[in-house]
Amino acid sequence: MAFCYQPPMCMGFGCNAVGVIGCRIIDSPRERLIAILTNNLVPCNGRFPTIIAIIAMFFVGTGAGAGQTLLSAILLTGVIVLGVLLTFLFSRLLSATVLSGVPSSFTLELPPYRMPQVGKVLVRSVLDRTLFVLGRAVAVAAPAGLILWLFANLDAGGVSILARCTAFLDPFARLLGLDGVILMAFILGIPANEIVLPIAIMGYLATGTLSELPALNEMHALLSSHGWTWLTAACTVLFSLLHWPCSTTLITIHKETKSMKWTLLAFLLPTAAGICVCFIVATLARALGLA
């Protein structure tokens, strides 16, 4: 059963929304749904820059030596492997609980070989995949951008709404090894995972607008000056791996399942995993005096 999840999972490394669409190749409705619900547990292309940048800043160093590159690759591979293992774990749990049933066999029938029609392949790829996903992203990005601007620029008692929200979230975020700014950045970053780190930088600098990220050594100094430690970095990487799907992926899940219940479960499943993992890591680190 796990074998049939591998093609959609691999597609999810590029984009989780595309990975969800790729689950259509699974014949069994039950197993297709399991693959859809667990697809977000592997990091997509939008989360890789954040994970790689944090690993480079806090665990490897910003140099470009061969040893640092190798260590960075090993740590990144460990994060990916963790996501894959959690995908299989939650697939097993779903198979044994809410989506229990008789496992189906996986049969791959090879069609007759034909010369590919390049024009047809390009047109279908652009229309059926690229524009399809980008259209959903734009539909959410525009109103989300407006909300982000309002949060950062509207004041309530001389303090921006963004600052008040981060202060409200801070106690809970500290339990997870994060802080209010980081957690708020993940919440406001639901349109696209690529903007999570820029939002966090905006929150720390109180600029009111997203700007180009500084160099890694400058970013490391900025984050460290706002209380980031190795534990903060580790929990941010874990929460980046394990948190709710982006808005485009959620819309795609709803369209594929035609169910708000399964869309909500796809939101809650990685979120609950992220909260639990970060809380356990932060609690153990503090109990052992490592943070």
Q: Which of 49-63, 82-96, 253-267 has the lowest mean pLDDT?
A: 49-63
Written as one letter, the residue type at 144 is A
State whether residue 256 is helix, strand or coil: helix
251: in domain: yes
Is the pTM above the cut of 0.85?
no
118: in domain: no
147: in domain: yes
Span 131-155, average pLDDT: 71
120: in domain: no
Q: For residues 278 and 239, give the distance between their C-alpha atoms in angstroms, rounded to a whole number.
A: 7
Residue 47 half-sphere exposure, CB side, CA atoms within 13 Å?
27
Q: Which residue has the higher pLDDT, 238 or 216?
A: 238
Q: Count Cβ neighbours within 10 Å for each residue of 99-121 and write b for 16 or more, e otherwise.
A: beeeeeeeeeeeeeeeeeeeeee
**Size of the chain in residues:** 291
73: in domain: yes
Q: For residues 30 and 33, give the distance between their C-alpha atoms in angstroms, rounded to a whole number.
A: 5
122: in domain: no
131: in domain: no
Interval 184-217: pLDDT, tens: 999 988 888 888 888 888 888 877 676 677 788 8
Question: What is the domain count for the chain?
Answer: 1
State the residue for tokens 């534990």: 231
92: in domain: yes
Interval 78-120: pLDDT, tens: 999 999 899 989 988 888 887 776 565 556 666 777 777 777 7
Domain containing residue 242: 2-102+138-287
